[in-house]
Chain A
Amino acid sequence: MPWDEGLVNSLVYDAPDPKEGRVLGYAKAVNEALEIALKQDSSVFVFGQGVDDPTAMFGVTKDLQVKFGDKRVFDSPLSEEGMMGVSTGAAMNGMRPVFMHNRPDFILLAFNQLVTHAAKMHYMDNGLTKVPMVVWAAIGRGWGSGAQHSQAIQGLLLGVPGLKIVMPSTPYDAKGLMLSAILDNNPVLVFEHRWLMKKDGIVPEGFYRVPLGKGIYRRRGKDVTIVGASHALELGLQAANKLAAEGIDAEVIDLRTIKPLDEEIIAESLKKTGRLVVVDTGWSMGGVCAEIGCLAAEKWFDSLKAPVRRIGLPDIPHPAGYTLEQFFYPDVKRISQTIRELVHQ
C-alpha cells in the first residue's frame, strides 16, 4: 500500500559506503545465511507456511526451494503448535529445523511446544537431548496490522529458561546471527522487524558468524547510554546522531541478542555515562525495558546519576489505524526528547 510504504520509508537509513564492502539488502542477507546453512549441513531444513510462495517471507526464503528441493524447504500446514512440536521432535533427533513465521503473533499459538517442551527438553533429559532449532518471525508494525499482527512478543519469552532470543538491527548482523542461531544447539528465536527489511548494509560474502549473547557499541559517547536491539535500536541510534548537534554525546549499545543478555557491556557503559535509556519494540512493562531497568537498579545503582528511562510500547494493545499508530509508537523525535530530559535533569 502506498501510504504504508510511505510510512516505512519515512525512516531513512544511512546509506552504506560501497568502498567499505559489498552492499546488500537486509532480507537478502538473511536469505544468504539460510542458503549457506542449507549448503553446509544436510540436517538443516526450512519450513513454515509460505516459505515457497512468491513473496517468500519478505524475500528471505526466495529461491531456496528451487535450490534445495521441496524435501528441505517446504510449505507447511498452518498448525502452529503442531508444527512447533514437529520442529522440536525433528531437532531432538538429528535435524536442524528453521521454522518460519510471517508474524510473531502466530507463535503465541505454539507456546505449549516452545515454552513447555522445546525450551526444557535438554534440562529435562539431564543434558542428553539437544534441541537445535531456529524459530523465525518478523514483527509486523504498520499497514493497519493492529492488535493481532503487530505484536513484539520477546518480552513474554524473556523469562523462559532454555531459550535464546536474537534481534538483529543490521543486514550484517542478520546474516551472522542467523548462522550462529542455526549452529547453536538450543532453541533460538530470531525476531526480525518488518521495517528493517529494506535496510541496506555492508555484508561480506560467504560464511561468518556474529556470536550470540554479545552486544556491540554502535556509537561511543559519555553523557547517556542508549541500549536496545532491532528496529528500536535503529531509532535510538538515529536519535543519538541527531542529539550530537545539540552537544549531547550518547553511547549506543546494540544488544544483538536479548537472551542471553550481555550485562557486561551495559555495566561498562553505564559506569561511564551514569544515565540509561532502554529502547525496545515491545511493551515496556514486563519486557526487555523492564528487565534491563531492574538490572540497573539491582546491580548498577551506584553508577546511576538519574532514573532509568524506558522507551518501549505503552501498556495498550496495538491500534490498527494510521493516526493512532503515530501516537502509539515511539519515534526518533520522542526518543530524542526523552534523552534530552534525562541529560538535562
Chain B
Amino acid sequence: MIRYDYHGSGFAGWQEKLSRYEPAFLLKLFHDMLRIRIIEEEIERRYWQDHMKSPIHLVIGQEATSVGACAALTRADLLYASHRTHGNYLAKGGDLKAMLCEMHCRINGCVGSRGGSMHLMDKSVGMAGSSAIVAGVIPIATGTALAAQMQEESYVTTVFLGDAAVEEGSVSEALNFAALKQLPIIYFCENNFYSVQSPLYTRQPKREIYKWAASYGMPSVVVDGTNVLAVHEAMQVAVTRAKQGGGPTFIESPVYRFRAHGGAGDDSKTGYRDVAEREAWEKVCPIETYFAFLKTAGLIDEQARKVMAGEAMAETMEAFDFALASPNPSEADLYTHVYAD
C-alpha cells in the first residue's frame, strides 16, 4: 500500500522559466546532485567493509533539497543540519576528503573524529553545526540569526530539519522567537514521512506541516522536494526576504529517502513501509527527472552525464584512498578542547 504519494507535478511548466537561468548554473545543479548520489552509493557499497566506524544516514533520494537550497546561499551564509548531514555538507561546499576522514574516524576529519557522520561541522564553508538530537540545532540556528541581526551582519542562516523535528517542543519555541524578532533565518523542513520507522500518521494529526508553521506568524510554503529548481526558487525568495529584513521563512519540502533511516540499504521489506511506495518515489527520482528535463531542453546528453559521473567517481575514489591513508588520532587528542581558553 502506498501511504504517502508524490503530489508534485515534476518539471511541468518549467520549460518557460528556463531562460531565467544560465545553462552553466542549471548543469551545476545536476552535477552537484549526481556527485552526491555517487558519493553516497560508494559509501553504501563500502560500508560493510567496516572501515567507516560511524553511523550513516544516507541522503539518496533527497539530493535536490540540499543542492537546490544551497545554490541560493553564499559561502558566508550559514547552514545547520540534523543527523542526515552528508548532502547538506557537500552542497554547502564541504570538503569530501574531510567528510570521509571524519567517517573513517581519522584525525584530519572536519572535526578531528569528534563527530562522525552525524556531526559534520566546518566553519570554513559555513557548515555551522549539526545535531543528532533531531531538533537540537533549531534553537541554535535561531540564536545565530539573532547574533547576525544584533551585529548587523548580512549573512542568512538556514537550518534543515526533518518532519519529526517539529514534534519536539523547541521548534515551536524557536519559530515563535524568530517571528517575534523577525530574524534572518530559513527553516527548511524535509518531510520524508518517516521518523526512523515511524510513519507520519502515528505521530502527527492530519494537517500540513507548512500550515502549522505559518501559524507562528511567518511566511510558510510547500515546495516539491524532488524538483531542484523549485527548491532553489523557494529558497531564493526566502533568502531575499531575510536579507531585506523581512524576517524568517518556513519551507516544507516533501521528499523520499530511498534507503533506511540509518545504515546501508533499504529496509522497506521489514514492513514499516511498502516497497511499492519507495518504487513509486524512485520514478520521480530528483536526479532522473531533472536529467530528463535538461535533456529535453538540449542542455545535456548521456555522454555528458557519463563524463560527469566518471569525474565524480574518480574524485570519490581518490577521497576514499586519502581517508584510508590518513592517520588515526592519538590518545593525547582525546583530551584537547574540553574547555576553550
Contact B133 A185, beta carbon cutoff 8 Å: no
Choose among A71, A93, A116 the residue with the greatest number of B CB atoms under 10 Å from its CB: A93
Q: For the complex, what is the distance from the CA of A61 to the CA of B139, rounded to whole Å?
A: 24
Question: Is A272 among interface residues, defined by CB-CB distance under 8 A?
Answer: no
Q: Which of A98-151 contact B (CB under 8 A)?
A: 112-113, 116-117, 121-132
- Contact A117 B338, CB 8 Å, known A82-B170, A86-B142: no
Given the contacts A88-B143, A123-B114, A81 and B150 also touching, CB distance less than 8 Å: no
Distance in angstroms between the alpha carbons of A91 and B145 in the assembled complex:
11
Tell me the smallest distance from the CB of A73 to a CB of chain B, in Å.
12
B140 part of interface (Cβ distance < 8 Å): yes
A92 at the A/B interface (Cβ < 8 Å)? yes
Contact yes or no, B143 A124, CB < 8 A = no
Q: How far is the CB of B269 from chain A (nearest CB, A)?
A: 34
Is the pair A124, B111 in contact by a Cβ cutoff of 8 Å? Answer: yes
Name the one of A71, A87, A185 contacting B340, with C-beta atoms under 8 angstroms.
A185
Given A112-B136, A124-B115, A126-B112 in contact, is the A87-B151 Cβ separation under 8 Å?
Answer: no
B173 touches A81 (CB 8 A): yes
Pick from B141, B151, B336, B340: contact of A130, CB below 8 A.
B340
Please give, as numbers and ranges, the residues of chain A lying within 8 Å of B195 by CB-CB distance: none
Interface centre among A82, A112, A127 (most CB of B within 10 A): A82
Q: Mark B44-85, 1 if CB is under 8 A from A, else 0.
A: 000000000000000000000000000000000010000000
A89 in contact with B121 given A77-B176, A123-B114, A124-B114 (CB within 8 Å): no
Report how far A299 CA is from B94 CA in the complex, Å.
47
Residues of B within 8 A of A132 (CB): 340
Whether the pair B177, A83 counts as a contact (CB closer than 8 A) is: yes
Q: Known contacts being A112-B170, A117-B136, is A92 close to B340, with CB within 8 Å?
A: no
| Minimum distance in angstroms from B111 CB to a CB of chain A | 5
Query: Does the CB pair A88–B123 fall under 8 Å?
Result: no
* A121 vs B141: C-alpha distance when bound (angstroms): 13
With A82-B174, A113-B170 known as contacts, the answer to whether A128 contacts B139 (CB < 8 A) is: no
Cα(A117)–Cα(B170), bound, Å:
13
Question: For residue B137, which residues in chain A have a CB less than 8 angstroms away from its CB?
Answer: 85, 117
* CA A72 to CA B133, docked complex, whole Å: 30
Are B339 and A186 within 8 A (Cβ)?
Answer: yes
- Does B119 make an interface contact (CB < 8 A)? yes
User: Once the chains bind, are A113 and B140 in contact (CB under 8 Å)?
Assistant: yes
In the complex, whether A11 has a CB less than 8 A from a CB of chain B is: no
B176: chain A residues at CB < 8 Å are: 77, 79, 82
- How many Å lie between the Cα of A127 and that of B145 in the bound state? 22
Contact yes or no, A123 B338, CB < 8 A: yes
Q: For B339, what are the chain A residues with a Cβ–Cβ distance below 8 Å? A: 122, 162, 164, 186
Interface size class of A (residues with CB under 8 A): 35 or more
Which residue from chain A places its CB closest to the CB of B109 in the assembled complex? A126
Cβ 8 A contact of A85, one of B147, B170, B180: B170
* B13 close to chain A: CB less than 8 A: no
| Docked CA distance A84–B172 (Å) | 14
Among B247-278, those with CB < 8 Å from A are none
Query: Could you tell me the distance between the alpha carbons of A124 and B130 in the complex, rounded to whole angstroms?
Result: 10
> A147: shortest Cβ distance to chain B, in Å?
22
Q: Among B142, B145, B147, which residue has the most Cβ atoms of chain A within 10 A?
A: B147
A259 to chain B, nearest CB (A): 10
Among A71, A84, A95, A122, the residue within 8 A (CB) of B337 is A122
Partner of A95, one of B150, B172, B180, B338: B150
Q: How many residues of B contact A (CB 8 A)?
A: 41
Q: Which chain B residues numbered 112 to 154 have a C-beta less than 8 Å away from chain A? A: 112, 114-115, 119, 121, 123, 128-129, 131, 133, 136-148, 150-151
- Binary flags per residue of A56-96, CB closer than 8 Å to B gives 1, else 0: 00000000000000011000110101111111111111110
When C-beta atoms are compared, the residue in chain B nearest to A116 turns out to be: B133
Given the known inter-chain contacts A117-B136, A129-B129, please indicate yes or no for A79 contacting B173, CB distance below 8 A.
Answer: yes
Provide the bound-state CA to CA distance between A257 and B136, in Å: 29
Please, what's the 1-or-0 string for B84-127, where 1 marks a CB less than 8 Å from any CB in chain A? 00000000000000000000000000011011000101010000
In the assembly, what is the distance between CA of A128 and CA of B137, in Å? 17
- Given that A122-B340, A186-B340 are contacting pairs, would A81 and B170 also be in contact in the complex, using a CB cutoff of 8 Å? yes
Q: Are A81's CB and B139's CB within 8 A?
A: yes
| B151 and A89 contact, CB distance less than 8 A | no
Please give me the residue from chain B that is nearest to A130 by CB atom.
B340
* Complex: chain B residue closest to A126, CB-CB: B112
Are A79 and B177 closer than 8 Å at their CB atoms?
yes
**Given A85-B140, A117-B136, A128-B123, A90–B147 Cβ distance below 8 Å?**
yes
B302 at the A interface (CB under 8 A)? no
**If A86-B174, A127-B340 touch, does A94 touch B129 (CB 8 Å cutoff)?**
no
When distances are taken between beta carbons in the complex, the residues of chain A under 8 Å from B139 are: 81-86, 88-89, 113
7 interchain pairs, CB-CB under 8 A: A79-B177, A82-B174, A83-B139, A86-B139, A86-B177, A117-B133, A162-B338
Additional pairs, 11, CB under 8 Å, beyond known A89-B140, A89-B143: A79-B177, A82-B170, A85-B136, A116-B131, A117-B133, A122-B337, A124-B111, A126-B111, A126-B114, A129-B121, A129-B123
